[in-house]
Structure 1
C-alpha cells in the first residue's frame, strides 16, 4: 500500500484549501470590489459612511477573505502615457540657483575683479562677466570652493561643476558625472511624485516605470481618458516666493539677467519682474491643506519646514514695506506688501479659488512639484468595453485549452487522466489564490501565461505516468510502480521546471508592463503545477489505490 505521513497529507491539503479559499472572492468580483472600495472610502473619511457604503460593506462577510486579483489596463480599461522628462530644465534651475552663491563668493575679491555681473548664456550655463580682466584668476580661485565631489557611485572622484575662464568671463557648467547623477535623481523624484499624485486620486494598481534614460511609462487602470491622466500628473503646482523687482504692462519686456517676467494671475495686462531665484520654494513645504481666509473665501494654508521657516522669517524681517510675489506655476497669484516679519513658518494662499480648486491645489502641493517639465510622446486610452472584450477572449481561450487538455489526458490515461484534470483545476484555483494574496495584477499577457500553464501543467503528470507504465511492464506491483514512477520522474520534472522558472525570472527582470505580467503568471503557474502534479495528484491516486485496491493497474 502507498502511504504518505499524516503530517504531510495535512500540510498538502491545507495548502490546497488555503489557495482555493483565497481565490474564492474572484468568483464574486463586482460584489467584493464594491465592498473593498466602500471600506477604503470609509477609512479615508475618518469612519463616516453613507447608506450606500454601509450596504456595500455588508454585501460581503467580514470574516471572509476579500483580496482580489487586480485587472490590468488592457482588461479594465484606462489610460497609457509615455512621458519624456525635460532634463535640461533641471540644469537651468541649478545654474539659476547657483548665481547668488557665486555672487556672494566673489565679494571678497571685488577689489581685484572690479565688479561682476551675470552675462547672457545658454540654458544650463552660468556665465559671469568680470569687469577687470586682471581679476579673472582671482575670481576663479574664489569660485572653485563652490565645486564639491559628485554624490554617486559612478561619479566618485569627480567635481559637480566645471569652472573655466573664457576670455574676460568665467563659465560654470555641470560636469558630465554630475549630469548623470542629476538625471538619475530627477527621474527617481519624478517617479515618486507621479506615484503620489496617482495614488492620491484613488486609482487601482497603477504601473509607473522608468524607461530608458529620460522616459517614464505610466499606465493607470480605471482612468477615463489619457487627457484626464495628463491633467492628474502634468500639473506641476510649482510654488515659490520671489522678490519683486518691478512691474510692467509690456508682455514682451526684457526682465534682464537673473530676472523673470510673470503674469498677474488675476489682473490681465499686468506683469511682474521678479528675481529668478526664489526666497523660499515649494520644496520647503511640509503640509498644505484647503481652508478659508478671513473673508470666508476658499484658500490654501501651508506650513514650511525648519529651513524654509528660517529663510522666510529672515527675508520678511529684512524687507518690511517691500512687496514680494507668491508665484504658482509661473503666475503671480498674490503680491502682498510685507507688514512685519513672518516667523511662524506658516501662511495662507488666497486667490479666486473654488472649494474644489483649493482642495486640488492642496493635494498637488503636498505631492510636491515635478522637478522638470514632461513632454508626452505617446498616449492611449483603453475603453472598458475593449477591456471586457479582452476578458471574454481570454476566458474563451482558457476554457478551450482546459477542455482540450482534459480530453487528451482522459483519452491517453483513462482514470489517471481524470486525476490529472482534477489537479489541473486545483492548480488554476491556487494560481488565482496566490495572485490575490500578493495583490498581483492580471493582464492580457497574464491570461496568455495562464493558458500556457494549462497546456504545460500536465507535463509532470505525463512524465510520471509514462514512468509508471514502464515499471508495470517490468511486472512491478501497482503500489510499487506508482512509487517508483514518482521517484524516477522527479529529476526530469525538476530540471524542466527550473529552466522555465529561470526564463520567467529573466523576463520579469528585463521586461516591463505586459511582459512582467506574463512572467509573474508563468512563474506562479510553474510552482503550483509542480506542487499539484507531484503531491496533490499523488494523494488522489493514493486514496484511490488504498480504497479500491485494484488487482490490476491500467495507466
Structure 2
C-alpha cells in the first residue's frame, strides 16, 4: 500500500532533474559586455571583428572573449565595468555607421550549457536598471491625416474626370466637396463612391450651392487609429533596434500609448535621438543599361546612383525618383492570386498613383527597387565626451520586376516567404510615423537601484522560505521536512520554467514568488491535517496516508483553480507589472500542485510505503 510504480517515480525524478538543468544557468555570474549589432540585420563581418580586436588592444583594454551570436551579432566580454566603459569608447571610435554597440550583461555559462542552448531568465527594467519611456500617440492627428489624403485624392479624381467643382475642403471629421448644381453633384458622388467605397457619402445643399460630404465610419476610423498605433510601434521598434539593447520592450499600452523599456540602457539622450530620427522610402527604377561592376569600380553613370541592399550587395539605380514614402497611404501582406506567392499590397495617394502609372506603363518587365532612407544623429564617446553627428543611411530593401502597369494600388512579389512579406509591409509603413508622438513620461533607473531591488527581492524570498521551513519542520516533523524539500524543489521548478520560457522577471514577479512560497505549503497542510484526522479516528498509518492524499485532493484542486483563474484575469487585463506578478503566480501554483501532490506523495511512499509502521512522525 502507498507505493508508486517504478515508472511514476522515474517520471517525477526526470521532471525534477530537467527542472534543475534549466534552472542551472541562473546560478552563474554575468560578465559586463558590449553587444555589437548590424543596422537592420547586417552581420558583423570578420573584418569588423579584427577591427574591434585591434581597437581594444591599441586602447590597452583587456577583454575576456569575443563571441558570435545568433542574428549576426557580436558579444565582447570584459572582466569589470570599468573595462566595459573604456571598451565601448574604443569600439565606437572604430565601428562604421553600419554597426551599433550597446552595454549589456552576458551570463558566464559553461560550455555544456551553451551547447544545450540554455539561458537564464531575463531581468526586467526594475531589477536590471535602464530607461523607461511612455509615449502618447496623437490619434486625432492620424484621422486628420487620413482625411487630408482623401481630400487630395478626391480633388485629383474630379480633375481627371473633368467634373467641375468649386472647392474640396475638410469640414471637421468630413471631406466637403462643393458644386454649382445638383446634376454635377450627383455625377461626382457616383464617381467618388466608385473610387472610394470605404467612405460614407451624403449629399446636401444650402439653397445656393450643393455639397457631397464624405466621412469615415466608426469602424474605419478605429482602423485608422489602430494602423497609426501599429505603424508607430513598428517605426519605434526599428529605431530602438539601432541601440542594440538586449531584450527591449516596446508594446502598446491602452488605446493610444506606447511603452518603451530598455533594460541595461544608460543614455536617455541617445534614446530620444533614435525616437526623433526621420525616415522615408523611395521607389526607383533599376539601371539595367550599365554595369554594376563598373559602378563599384568608380565609374558611376551621371544618371544613376550606386546603392547597397540589406546584405551588402551593390545595386545600381536611376537617380530619377518615381514616388516617395510620403505618398504611401497603406501597405499590407498577402498572396498573389495568380501564383499563390507571398506579396505586399501598396496603396498610393493621387499624385503618387499618376506618377507610378506613367512610369510602369513605360517600363513593363523592368526591375524596380524600394530604397529605405533614414536620417539620424549618432553619439560617439570621444575622450569620454559625447560627440554628435548626423548620419544618412540609404539601402535597398526590395527589388522586383514590373509585371504590368499599375497606379494607385499595386503589389510587390518575388518574396521568399509570407513572413518576409509581412515584415516588408510593416517596413513600408514604418518609414515615417503615422501620427505625431509626445513623450509623456520618462524615467531612468540606475543599475545600483536595480541591484538593490534584486538583493531585497532575494532576501525576502530567503526569509519567507526559512520561516516556512522552520514552522513546517517543527509542527509536522518528518512530514514537515518532506514539505520543506518539495517547497525547495518548487522554487527550482519556478526558476526553471521562467528560464525555459525566457520570461522577464520583474520586482512584482518576485512578489509573486514570495506569495507562492507561502501558498505552496497550503496543499501539504491540508493533506497532513487530513492524515492526522484519520489517525485520531483510529485508522492505520498506511490507511491514514492514503486517505489523507485522496480526500484532500479535491479541496486542493478547487482552491488552486480559483487562484489560477485570478492569475489569468490579472494577466489578461493587467499592465506590465501586474502581468509579471500574474505570470510567476500562475507558474508557482502549477509547479506547487506537482510538487505538493505528486512529489511529496512519492517521498512519503519511499519512507513509509510497502511496510508495516507503528506510527507516523506527524
Q: TM-score, normalised by structure 2?
A: 0.66
> Which moved further from structure 2: 405-414 or 361-370?
361-370
Q: Which residue is 2:590 aligned to? A: 527
Q: Which residue is 2:66 aligned to? A: 53
Partners of 2:591 and 2:181 in 1: CA distance: 78
Partners of 1:74 and 1:181 in 2: CA distance: 34
Q: Which residue is 1:185 aligned to? A: 227
Partners of 1:210 and 1:352 in 2: CA distance: 25
Instruction: Kindly provide the CA deviation profile for residues 27-61 of structure 1, in whole angstroms up to 9, marking residues without a partner as x.
Output: 11415x969x69999x9636745662248599631
More helix by share: 1
Partners of 2:108 and 2:28 in 1: CA distance: 14
State how 1:382-397 maps to structure 2 within 5 Å.
Answer: 382-397=445-460
Paired residue for 1:229, among 266, 271, 280?
271
Does residue 1:17 correspond to 2:17, yes or no?
yes
- CA 497–349 in structure 1, closer or farther in 2 if over 3 Å, else same: closer
- CA 317–531 in structure 1, closer or farther in 2 if over 3 Å, else same: closer
Q: Which residue is 1:90 aligned to? A: 142
Q: Which residue is 2:258 aligned to? A: 216
Instruction: Kindly provide the CA deviation profile for residues 367-396 of structure 1, in whole angstroms up to 9, marking residues without a partner as x.
Output: 532221112222222221111111111111
RMSD of aligned C-alpha atoms? 4.2
Judge conservation of contact 2:332–2:346 (CA < 8 Å) in 1: no
Judge conservation of contact 1:504–1:523 (CA < 8 Å) in 2: yes
Query: Deviation at 1:490?
Result: 0.6
Paired residue for 2:391, among 357, 360, 383?
357
Query: Deviation at 1:14?
Result: 0.5
Partners of 1:417 and 1:279 in 2: CA distance: 69
Does residue 1:375 correspond to 2:425, yes or no?
no
Aligned residues: 469
* Structure 2: gaps spanning 5 or more residues: 54-64, 68-75, 78-106, 285-322, 334-343, 379-388, 398-425
- CA 40–544 in structure 1, closer or farther in 2 if over 3 Å, else same: farther
Q: Which residue is 1:272 aligned to? A: none
Instruction: Kindly provide the CA deviation profile for residues 470-498 of structure 1, in whole angstroms up to 9, marking residues without a partner as x.
Output: 12223333222212211111111111101
Partners of 1:178 and 1:8 in 2: CA distance: 57
Partners of 1:352 and 1:70 in 2: CA distance: 32
Report the 3-state secondary structure (helix = DSSP H, G, I; strand = E; otherwise coil) of the residue aligned with 1:541: helix
Instruction: Kindly provide the CA deviation profile for residues 97-145 of structure 1, in whole angstroms up to 9, marking residues without a partner as x.
Output: 32454235435874xx6x3354554575433343567633443343332
Q: Which residue is 1:346 aligned to? A: 369
- CA 65–346 in structure 1, closer or farther in 2 if over 3 Å, else same: closer
- CA 455–58 in structure 1, closer or farther in 2 if over 3 Å, else same: closer
Partners of 1:371 and 1:477 in 2: CA distance: 74
- CA 174–100 in structure 1, closer or farther in 2 if over 3 Å, else same: same
Does residue 1:504 correspond to 2:586, yes or no?
no
> Which moved further from structure 2: 74-83 or 4-13?
74-83
Q: Which residue is 1:146 aligned to? A: 195
- CA 390–58 in structure 1, closer or farther in 2 if over 3 Å, else same: closer
Paired residue for 1:472, among 535, 539, 548?
535
Instruction: Kindly provide the CA deviation profile for residues 70-108 of structure 1, in whole angstroms up to 9, marking residues without a partner as x.
Output: 111111112222222222333333233324542354358
Query: Deviation at 1:398?
Result: 0.8
Paired residue for 1:79, among 118, 123, 131?
131
Partners of 2:36 and 2:374 in 1: CA distance: 34
Paired residue for 1:402, among 465, 468, 471?
465
